[in-house]
A = this chain, B = another copy of it.
């Protein structure tokens, strides 16, 4: 049962993670000023893959435990917002809205971590690197906003 649950959660992660391949860092992103702590592009997919394996493991462990309803609801909440940041930042190139999304994502990951911890300690621990990474991602988004005020003020009109 663990592996079935793990697979379902992992595919959910890959669905959210697919946005990274669909909305890649293009010329717009390369032209932006970035904070000194910005990792090279290849670090992002590698890190996300590791985090997705952790999240899927945490979800599967909790899903096999009774009384995990709230933890699993929060697991669903965080993945819904996990998949939202990339289309907003790289798709809409909306730095300010990206900041709002990553900030709310941070909250959902924090509450998911706490709820998983209450059900299964290891599951909670498996959310820690995810929360750390979203903290870094939020700092990157904030740094890009601060260092590119014009780009932040004037996102392109994608509908036209």
Partner-B contacts on A (CB < 8 A): 1, 4-5, 8-9, 11-13, 15-16, 18-19, 22-27, 59-60, 62-70, 72-77, 79-81, 83-84, 87-88, 91-92, 97, 158-160
Contact = CB atoms under 8 A, between A and B. Distances in A.
Given A12-B81, A25-B159, A26-B159, 17 more contacts: A5-B70, A9-B76, A12-B77, A12-B79, A18-B84, A19-B87, A22-B87, A23-B91, A23-B159, A27-B159, A59-B73, A63-B69, A63-B70, A69-B72, A76-B79, A79-B79, A80-B80
A63 B26 CA distance: 41
A4 B71 CA distance: 12
Contacts of A67: 66
A73 to B, nearest CB: 4
Contacts of A76: 8-9, 12, 59, 72, 75-76, 79
In the complex this chain forms, how many copies of it are found? 2
A66 B66 contact: yes
Nearest to A6: B73
Given A79-B80, A87-B22, A8 B73 contact: yes
Contacts of A60: 73
A9 B79 CA distance: 11
10 contacts: A1-B69, A5-B70, A5-B73, A16-B84, A19-B84, A64-B69, A68-B72, A72-B72, A72-B75, A72-B76
Nearest to A18: B84
Nearest to A87: B87
